[in-house]
Chains A and B, each alone.
Chain A
Amino acid sequence: MPDAALIDLAGVSKRFGAVQALDGADLLVAPGSRVSVVGHNGAGKSTLMQILAGTLAADAGRIAIGGQTLEGHYGVRRAHALGIRCVFQELSLCPNLAVFENARVMHHALQGPGWRGRARRLIVAALDEIFPGHGIDPDRAVGELPLGQRQMVETARAFTVTDEPVRLVILDEPTSALDATAAEQLMRFIGVARERGISTLFISHRLAEVLTHMDELVVMRDGRMVGGGAAATFSEARLVEMMGVVEEKEVGPDAGPRAASASAAMRVQDSVGGAGSEFVARAGEVVGLAGLAGHGQRDLLLRVFAAAGHRAGRHAATRVAGSVAYVSGDRQAEGVFPLWSVAANTTIGLLRGIARFGVIDLGREQAAARRWREQLGIRTPDVGMPITGLSGGNQQKVLVARAFAAGADIILFDDPLRGVDIGTKRELYASVRRAAEQEGRCFLWYTTENGELSHCDRVYVFYQGRISDVIEGAELTEERVIRASFQEGAAAVA
């Protein structure tokens, strides 16, 4: 019997500015199958799911659902009508509404007299079936539930049916917020759903879980598929190998790693992760923070930032000696002042240094801005130009200049080079090297691109908020990084 593939994506591409998130991705999902997509940061998994769910539009490629190629506008409502549901990591629940009212929001058909009873029964039935013993009261406001229960509600809701059938449910890291019991229950239910012809598309970093419960695996890298097949044919080691992003020779000790002298001043000490999870950085060092996004790296950076300036959010277990500056990777949300010029953006961190009685010396400001433009090679003829006129890479350079100009001892890099062109990256790598070697600055560098770690003297890999591995520059290999990203305590931590 010809089995029309439920989902057939071919050559899907999507670009965000300078970043090619998807580069000709293909995906085939049969009805009633459990498929998992695995890959490291930036592989394109989330982007692909969003296109499939209708919340993003692809630039190119063909999408066929249930054997029919999609023409015209494809959005969330149409996806729903075609039986595609999606559960993202940032939940789509209204915290002020009760559980059953949130079910009503998804289903336009739940109206008229008696809708409350029907909605209650609908969501409770789903919860009971997927997570028996859940103990969630359907009348409680979602905002009052702990995160795990909210995840359960949203997951269960995705499987509820009124007038539109469910054929595919996309789950983006669904077990990360669930406890072990609930996670197990969900895995079991996905098998049950399969018997009913419902397919599940799973994104997860828990390789063991995925190998046990999935029928098929697809490995993504750099925006396309690099392998796939029946789950039984894979092993964790093989997956790790396939996910590797860069060629071996790029990840490895840079030309002559400097042995940081033990006498260099201690800059940062953090032991929030508990014993055996200590983070240390010295003057003149470039320390990398690696691992999957959202596993505690940014928290560490913010803790250091708070501790240095005696700001809210500092932790007793974090000790910092020296001044600190922060360079964010999310330019728009946390970095750039869009109404200002390049000069003003550069000097905001050192205003007090060029002001007398609170009044800024404009001449010195211009001089400082120009000096850092030269040092970092920012491509702009005039520092008085609005910063929004610069390319993304150059804007990022301005943010780095801001940190350098502020004269900080410790510079925190929050994945600042993501989506920046390779030329700019190379120039910034050199600037960092120079600042560390010649000025003795200390860098804490969180990056989601493993290739950049080769510029670090030492790398701490994070997993679930704790340090899972400490790799000295000489021993750095991408495989070791990836292994530590997916497991806890992968290697003996020194």
Chain B
Amino acid sequence: MSDTAARFALRPWLDRRPWIWSFAAALLVWLLTVAVVRGRGGLDTLAVAVQFATFYVIVGLGQMLVITAGPGNIDLSIPGVMTLAGYLAMGTMQQSNAGLIPGLLVGLGVGFGAGIANVAMIRLLAIPPMIGTLAAGFVAQSMAIAYSSGSTAKPAPALAAFSTMRVAGLPVIALVFVVVAVLAAQVLRRTVFGRSVLATGQNRRAAWLAGVRVDRTIAGVYVISGLLAGLGGVLLSAYAGGASLDMATDYLLMSIAVVVLGGTSIAGGQASVAGLWGAATLLDLVVTMLNVMRVGAGLRYVVTGFIIIAVLALAKGRARA
């Protein structure tokens, strides 16, 4: 009797909380890391990991929205947009606090423009999102390359300070974006727009027939993703002390990985915001752990790639009804 009682509660409870796996795995990896360094600086490791994870979360939020809007929707322009936004924002800031706001606006403007461009390609030119955003990303990257050859882009000191600031040992920027993530989750659950995204993602045709403004919704997610990519690029540049051409190369796969590993369904219609944090922390801790073990970049990439494919292959079995 107790057997059935235990079996009854666990499975559906777990299924409703897909983000649990990523947090559990993150915890595991952290413990491993702490074991390897024999307890020194364990908390600091966590803080640094969470710091880096924040950037994954910022762009991950945008990618999550796009992916949730339905199968076939994906934003591959994120790295290019991040780079371009970073460069242009830094260039505008020119290392002075007066330039902070304009710089920020420029970065967001780049993101907004990219989002609009993506929507135009998808809606007007009937280009599959995969290709359109990929090409847009390359165009943005090219523009960044061209721009970079003339300038030394450094962030406004205030922004740089903000991005590295800590409160009680935890990075402020991470705390800010935990709040943002919570807000995002509420948006999905409680706003007309959020419901529209979830409906469109579950069943585009049913959403259309139910009166949901499908076209506007899809346009919206791409624009938001662009804005977040722009913001991410600006903040990342500020943290790193300046923009660099290869600063966002990891973000193509990572933005998708944190979404998928965090429990958001690649088929759309189901998003897990909390999972973004879990997955981002996990991936960063994995990198940290491998670094601590003196493992080179090569193995790091291999392990990351394998984890992503493995989780995808294992999780899918459940999702296919």
Contacts of B203 in A (CB 8 A): 333-338
> Is the CB–CB distance between A326 and B202 below 8 Å?
no
Knowing A325-B211, A328-B206, A337-B199, say if A358 contacts B270 (CB, 8 Å). no
Structural contact, B195 and A344, CB atoms closer than 8 A = yes
Known: A337-B199, A337-B203, A358-B191. A348 touches B212 (CB 8 A): yes
Most A CB atoms within 10 A — which of B191, B199, B202, B206?
Answer: B206
Whether B210 is near chain A, meaning CB under 8 Å from some CB there, is yes
- B190, A326: Cβ atoms closer than 8 Å: no
1/0 per residue A465-491: CB within 8 Å of B? 000000000000000000000000000
Residues of chain B within 8 A of A305, CB atoms compared: 209
Which of B199-239 touch A at CB < 8 Å? 199, 202-203, 205-212
Cα–Cα distance between A337 and B207 once the two chains are bound (Å)? 8
Check B211–A309 contact: CB distance below 8 A. Answer: yes
Q: Are A340 and B206 in contact (CB under 8 A)?
A: no
Contact: B205 with A351, CB < 8 Å? no
Instruction: Give the Cβ gap from A366 to chain B, nearest Cβ, in Å.
Output: 13
29 A-B contact pairs sorted by A residue (CB < 8 Å):
A309-B211, A326-B209, A328-B209, A333-B206, A334-B205, A334-B206, A335-B203, A335-B209, A336-B206, A337-B199, A337-B206, A339-B202, A339-B270, A340-B198, A348-B199, A348-B207, A348-B210, A348-B211, A348-B212, A351-B195, A352-B192, A355-B191, A355-B192, A358-B193, A360-B190, A360-B192, A362-B190, A402-B210, A406-B211
Cβ-based interface call for A197 (8 A):
no
* Set of chain B residues within 8 Å of A336, measured between Cβ atoms: 203, 206
**Could you give, for residues 348-375 of chain A, a 1 whenever the CB lies within 8 Å of some chain B CB and a 0 otherwise?**
1101100100111010000000000000
Q: A337-B269, A339-B270, A406-B211 are in contact. Are A360 and B191 (CB under 8 A)?
A: yes
On B, residues with C-beta under 8 Å from A are: 190-193, 195, 198-199, 202-203, 205-212, 269-270, 321
The chain B residue with its CB closest to the CB of A302 is: B209
| A311 / chain B contacts, CB cutoff of 8 Å | 208
Q: B155 to chain A: closest CB distance in Å?
A: 34
Min CB distance, A174 to chain B, in Å?
29
- Write out the residue numbers on chain A whose beta carbons fall within 8 Å of the beta carbon of B199: 337, 348
Minimum distance in angstroms from A309 CB to a CB of chain B = 7
Question: Which residues from chain A contact B270 at a C-beta distance below 8 Å?
Answer: 339
Q: Give B190's nearest chain A residue, CB to CB.
A: A360
CB distance from A339 to the nearest CB of B (A): 5
- Inter-subunit contact B202/A348 (CB<8 Å): no
Among residues of A, the one whose C-beta sits closest to the C-beta of B208 is A311
Q: A348-B195, A349-B211, A352-B192 are in contact. List 4 more A-B contacts (CB 8 A).
A: A334-B206, A336-B206, A337-B202, A358-B191
On chain A, the residues within 8 Å of B209 by CB distance are 305, 326, 328, 334-335
| CA gap between A325 and B192 in the complex, in Å | 18
Q: How distant is the Cα of A333 from the Cα of B202 in the complex, in angstroms? A: 10
**Given the known A-B contacts A336-B203, A337-B199, are A351 and B269 also in contact in the complex, defined by CB atoms under 8 Å?**
no
Point out the residues of chain B lying under 8 angstroms from A406, CB to CB.
210-211
How far does the alpha carbon of A207 sit from the alpha carbon of B206 in the complex, in Å?
A: 36
Q: A326, B195: Cβ atoms under 8 Å? A: no
Cβ contact within 8 Å between A340 and B205: no
Rounded to whole angstroms, the CA-CA distance of A339 and B321 in the bound complex is: 12
A344 to B192, CA, bound (A): 12
Instruction: Tell me whether A335 and B211 are in contact in the complex, defined as CB-CB below 8 angstroms, given that A348-B199, A359-B191, A360-B190 are known contacts.
Output: no
A87 to B110, CA, bound (A): 55
Residues of B within 8 A of A362 (CB): 190
**How long is the Cα–Cα vector from A339 to B207 in the complex, in angstroms?**
13
Bound together, the chains give a CA A349 to CA B206 distance in angstroms of: 11
Smallest beta-carbon distance B318→chain A, Å: 13
B residues within 8 A CB of A325?
A: 211
Docked-complex contact A326 and B210, CB < 8 angstroms: yes
- Alpha-carbon distance between A366 and B206 when the two chains are bound, in angstroms: 22
Q: CA–CA, A309 to B212, complex, Å?
A: 11
**CB-nearest residue of chain B to A344:** B195
* Complex: chain B residue closest to A388, CB-CB: B321
Interface residues of A in 393-418 (CB under 8 A from B): 402, 406
Minimum CB–CB distance for B284 against chain A, Å: 29
Q: Assess whether A351 is in contact with B202, with CB atoms less than 8 Å apart.
A: no
A348 to B199, CA, bound (A): 8
Whether A333 pairs with B205 at a CB distance below 8 angstroms is yes
B206 touches A335 (CB 8 A): yes
Cα distance, A402 to B210, chains bound together (Å): 8
User: What is the CA–CA distance of A244 and B280 in the complex, to the nearest angstrom?
Assistant: 64
Cα distance, A349 to B213, chains bound together (Å): 11
Query: Nearest residue in A to B186 (C-beta to C-beta)?
Result: A359
* Chain B residues whose CB sits within 8 angstroms of the CB of A339 once the complex forms: 198, 202, 269-270
The 3 closest A-B pairs by CB, nearest first: A326-B209, A337-B202, A351-B192
Chain B residues near A359 (CB-CB < 8 A) = 190-191
The residue of chain A having its C-beta at the shortest distance from the C-beta of B270 within the complex is A339
On chain B, the residues within 8 Å of A326 by CB distance are 209-210
- Is A340 within 8 A of B202, CB to CB? yes
Distance in Å: Cβ of B130 to nearest Cβ of chain A: 20
Q: Which residue of B lies closest to A336 (CB)?
A: B206
Q: How far is the CA of A311 from the CA of B213 in the complex (A)?
A: 10
How near does chain B come to A110, taking the closest CB pair, in angstroms? 34
Contact residues in B for A360 (Cβ distance below 8 Å): 190-192, 195
A402 partner residues in chain B, CB cutoff 8 A: 210
Given A309-B211, A339-B270, A348-B199, A358 and B206 touching (CB < 8 A)?
A: no
Q: Provide the bound-state CA to CA distance between A362 and B194, in Å.
A: 14
Distance in angstroms from B204 CB to nearest chain A CB is 10
Contacts of A352 in B (CB 8 A): 192
A402 to B207, CA, bound (A): 12
Min Cβ gap A461→B in Å is 25
Question: Quick one: given A337-B203, A339-B269, A362-B190, are A349 and B195 in contact (CB under 8 Å)?
Answer: no
Which chain B positions have C-beta within 8 A of A337? 198-199, 202-203, 206-207, 269
**Which of A337, A340, A362 has the most chain B CB atoms closer than 10 A to its own CB?**
A337
